[in-house]
């Protein structure tokens, strides 16, 4: 599903170049749920953004469902992202003036899916993530955990091959964090969705099937099986 090969990345600031990721090699299989763990500044978000095609790597290759995304031009990549990749942000990134349902439908608007199908698919997902009754409210009328459920539904509406989540529970209290992780595990087990989840939290990581661990931009070799594996 995902193959990362000899991936390195540096940021350039004027004349200065800072290497952030060093020669990473790993795979994520279809239906896996993987945690990407590491301390602050270890390169987790950089790696996630590269894998989701939000930036181009300095070196190496990222294959999603066999397609090397670093070779795609802007238009092709934007189209590929819209149809194959889901993304969940720590801060939800919902559009405030759209209703919950409209937020979830939004990725389909770019795919010229008709209004009735969009609505049906959005409502089905909203029920699946447990907030069907909130569909006509605005994001500001929801709790943090509920807003993250909306963002999870939005990430799934295009039936993506893989979903990346950057600290999806980072803004939530412990109880809500557990509920959101329960939901992601449920979606993984019952709908076969492949997830890569960035987290600081060992508790979150311990519930995934596998842990990939970054330290100062290097992948640790002892990336192990989690409790749920
Ligand atoms: N656009 C950028 N320009 C320059 N350096 C950057 C840029 N983005 C990230 N970095 C640097 O890359 C390193 C890794 O950052 P990254 O955001 O990937 O870490 P992280 O593991 O996600 O940290 P956190 O847990 O705090 O979110 C840091 O040293 C950061 O300063
Ligand atoms: Mg980060």
With contact defined as beta carbons under 8 Å apart, do 55 and 31 qualify? no
**Is there an atom of ligand 1 within 6 Å of 11 CB?**
yes
75 or 200, greater pLDDT: 75
How many A from CA of 44 to the centre of ligand 1? 8
Residue 114 to residue 100: CA distance in whole angstroms:
18
Q: Which pLDDT value is given to residue 110? A: 85
> Please, are residues 91 and 171 in contact by the beta-carbon 8 Å criterion?
yes
Report the CATH fold assignment for 2-219.
Answer: Rossmann fold (3.40.50)
25 lines ligand 1 (CB under 6 A): no
Residue-wise pLDDT for 26-64, tens only, equals 999 999 999 999 999 999 999 999 999 999 999 999 999
User: Per-residue pLDDT tens for 136-164?
Assistant: 999 999 999 999 999 999 999 999 999 99
Which atom of ligand 1 is nearest to 46's Cα?
Answer: 18
Q: What is the pLDDT of residue 173?
A: 93
Q: Which atom of ligand 1 is nearest to the CA of 198?
A: 22
Cα(45) to ligand 2 centroid in Å equals: 4
Q: What is the pLDDT of residue 220?
A: 92
Indicate whether residue 217 lines ligand 1 (CB < 6 A): no
Mean pLDDT, all residues of the chain: 93
Higher pLDDT, 97 or 225: 97
pLDDT tens per residue across span 74-105 = 999 999 999 999 999 999 999 999 999 999 99
Looking at the CA of residue 18, tell me the nearest atom of ligand 1: 5
Q: CA dist 46 to 90, 154, 155, 166, 209, Å?
A: 14, 22, 19, 10, 22
Å from CA of 126 to ligand 2 middle: 27
Q: For 199, phi and psi rounded to 5 degrees?
A: -155, 150
* pLDDT reported for residue 222: 62
Q: What are phi and psi of 200, to 5 degrees?
A: -90, -20
DSSP 132: G
Q: Would the pLDDT of 229 be above 70? A: no
* Residues 183-222: b if buried by 16+ CB within 10 A, e if exposed: bbbebbeeeebbbbbbbbbeebbebbbbbbbbeebebeee
């Amino acid at each position: 599903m995902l193959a990362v090969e000899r991936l390195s990345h540096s940021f350039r600031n004027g004349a200065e170049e800072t290497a952030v990721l060093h020669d990473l090699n790993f795979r994520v299989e279809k239906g896996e749920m993987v945690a990407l763990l590491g301390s602050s500044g270890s390169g987790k978000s950089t790696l996630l953004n590269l894998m989701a095609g939000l930036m181009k790597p300095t070196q190496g290759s990222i294959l999603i469902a066999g397609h090397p995304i670093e070779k795609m031009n802007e238009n092709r990549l934007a189209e590929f992202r819209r149809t194959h990749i889901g993304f969940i942000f720590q801060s939800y990134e919902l559009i405030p003036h759209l209703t919950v349902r409209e937020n979830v439908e939004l990725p389909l608007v770019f795919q010229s899916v008709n209004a009735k199908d969009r609505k049906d698919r959005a409502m089905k997902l909203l029920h699946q993530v447990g907030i069907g009754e909130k569909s006509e409210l605005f994001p500001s009328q929801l709790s943090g955990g509920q807003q993250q459920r909306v963002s999870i539904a939005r990430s799934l509406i295009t039936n993506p091959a893989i979903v990346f989540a950057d600290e999806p529970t980072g803004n939530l209290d412990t109880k809500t964090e557990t509920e959101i992780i329960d939901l992601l595990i449920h979606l993984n087990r019952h709908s076969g969705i492949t997830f890569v989840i960035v987290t600081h939290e060992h508790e979150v990581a311990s519930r995934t099937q596998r842990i990939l661990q970054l330290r100062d931009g290097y992948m640790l070799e002892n990336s192990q099986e989690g409790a749920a594996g």
